[in-house]
Amino acid sequence: MRVLLDECVDSRLAGYFGELTVATVVGQGWSGITNGKLLALAQQKFDVFVTVDRNLSFQQHLPRFDLAALMPRTIEQLSVAPKGAITSIGV
């Protein structure tokens, strides 16, 4: 499985995908490319697109792309995350 991290995702997240092949938009030389064109490029080389852009689903018709889009849901964990501990949200 090949994973692409969006520009708005910290590249250090790549280390949490284990043995999967992970690349970044910046590393691909695709910085500044708009979402529609970016997704079209991504579907040619990747299986999964990871972003924190919550507007993506409103801006693009995702079913037209042969690519899974993953948006980590971290904000919801804030109310249950205990102080003084690390809360794993799963990647």
Provide the whole-model pTM: 0.78
Separation of alpha carbons 50 and 6, rounded Å: 6
Helix (H, G, I), strand (E, B) or coil at 22: strand
Domain interval for residue 26: 2-79
Among 6-10, 60-64, 74-78, name the most confident range.
Answer: 6-10
Residue 58 lies in a domain: yes
Helix (H, G, I), strand (E, B) or coil at 68: strand
User: Phi and psi for 63 in degrees, rounded to 5?
Assistant: -60, -15
Residue 61 lies in a domain: yes
Q: Is pLDDT larger for residue 35 or for residue 37?
A: 37
Residue 47 lies in a domain: yes
Residue 85 lies in a domain: no
State the chain's mean pLDDT as an integer.
Answer: 83
